[in-house]
Amino acid sequence: MCQNHGVAYIKPGVVEVQSIEYPKLALGDRKCEHGVILQIVSTNICGSDQHMVRGRTTAPAGLVLGHEITGLVIEAGRDVEFIKVGDLVSVPFNIACGRCRNCKVGQTGICLNVNPSRPGAAYGYVDMGGWVGGQAEYVLVPYADFNLLKFPDKDQAMAKIRDLTLLSDIFPTGYHGAVTAGVGPGSIVYVAGAGPVGLACAASCHLLGAAVVIVGDMIPERLEQAKSFGCEIVDLRKETPLSEQIAEIIGVPEVDCAVDCVGFEARGHGSDAGVERPATVLNAIMSITRAGGALGIPGLYVTGDPGAADDAAKEGSLSIRIGLGWAKSHSFYTGQCPVMKYHRQLMNAILYDKIQIAKAVNVEVISLDKAPKGYQDFDKGAAKKFVIDPHGMIPN
């Protein structure tokens, strides 16, 4: 029997690499003939993981983390027809059955059959169905024919693996935020947050033809990373209001559309920069988006936040200026990205050199045993996307 090791959440601020069970083609007491076992080639640390590690969710101790997975198929159930042993594949972070009403219309982020608690599931995430995460050496992937994206040429894919590893989540998620905000040729767009998803969103805005992409953050290194691929920036630590900083860039204090890539741990702006204000980003993007504009909200919001500043925020109730959004006829688009809606097209954009997404988000490859330090550095605001290479397969 092969050994397996994974990154487990222990308590707030602490993760450990532990020996974990080697995956089986089984779901509880029944065989999982529609599933495959993957040897993981790359698996990424995500900002959503960081929410759990900070203790800002109800994640249980011992949860094996990781929902951004790329791997080699080493075993397949008898009902898997189109994915073969030896295939190199990208795994959408959404787990989807392919059979339910939502999956059949492409809403794979809210599959009805893979989580007994609520629609939608993910690997290694709190309240998302109890699926074992992929920050490990091996993992089970169910409904393989439906879920997995096979790379057409394994050697070509390995040469671009730093880019292709981002197809499991942050590239489609950033792209989804841009698409749902209505970004297109000539758009002027504001992206709130220069973490990996925000940077992926900004790069996606360029791919979609935006004329100006403005990125706001409080961490200088992340703002410099946004500037490195052609974004304008606003420093939200400044006392100058966001609208005035935008006007200094484009001549008017509003944009066509905006994307929230921060979520529920947002901080205030200016003198409130160190204070948690969970509704800050949503209210800010309403204030600077033109009447009739749209707001993409891929930033994570939760229904249970034990670390919130007040009782309302602990259950996801925020002081949002919905009256302002209503008065300006804004459209709001929230929820998990349905990765399969985009990942094949974005794969082609990578393979045919239309985007350098790993460069945009500043990928750094680390070994599995360095994952705890990766979490620590990411929590300090490192302007990097940490990609774990459990088997030493990613070329230098």
pLDDT tens-digit series, residues 315-327: 999 999 999 999 9
pLDDT for position 1:
56
Is residue 33 within 8 Å of residue 79, measured between CB atoms? Answer: yes
For residue 196, is pLDDT > 90? yes
pLDDT for position 61:
95
Tell me the mean pLDDT in the region 171-188.
98
The whole-angstrom separation of Cα 43 and Cα 168 is 9
Provide the mean pLDDT of the chain: 96
Hey, which bits of 68-211 come out as E strands? 69-76, 88-91, 138-141, 149-150, 188-192
Tell me the mean pLDDT in the region 109-129.
96
Tell me the mean pLDDT in the region 73-90.
98
Tell me the mean pLDDT in the region 160-169.
98
Tell me the mean pLDDT in the region 157-164.
98
For residue 181, is pLDDT > 70? yes
The whole-angstrom separation of Cα 280 and Cα 326 is 17
Q: How confident is the model at residue 2 (pLDDT cuts 50, 70, 90)?
A: confident
Query: Pairing between strand 188-192 and 212-217?
Result: parallel
Second-level CATH architecture of 5-169+338-388: Alpha-Beta Complex (3.90)
pLDDT for position 274:
82
pLDDT for position 62:
96
Amino acid at 175: Y
Residue in 147, 135, 162 with CA at minimum distance from that of residue 90: 147
- All CATH 3.40.50.720 domain ranges of the chain, comma separated, are 174-334
Tell me the mean pLDDT in the region 256-268.
95
- Would the pTM count as exceeding 0.85? yes
Tell me the mean pLDDT in the region 302-316.
89
Domain 174-334 annotated CATH 3.40.190.10:
no
Residue in 27, 2, 6, 4 with CA at minimum distance from that of residue 16: 6
The whole-angstrom separation of Cα 93 and Cα 227 is 29
pLDDT in tens, 199-241: 999 999 999 999 999 999 999 999 999 999 999 999 999 999 9
Tell me the mean pLDDT in the region 40-47.
97
DSSP assignment string, 287-320: HHEEEEEEEEE-S---S--TT-SSHHHHTT----
Tell me the mean pLDDT in the region 98-124.
97
Q: How confident is the model at residue 273 (pLDDT cuts 50, 70, 90)?
A: confident
Hey, which bits of the chain come out as E strands? 5-11, 14-19, 26-27, 30-31, 36-44, 69-76, 88-91, 138-141, 149-150, 188-192, 212-217, 232-235, 255-260, 289-297, 331-334, 363-366, 385-388
pLDDT for position 236:
97
Amino acid at 163: D
pLDDT in tens, 351-387: 999 999 999 999 999 999 999 999 999 999 999 999 9
- All CATH 3.90.180.10 domain ranges of the chain, comma separated, are 5-169+338-388
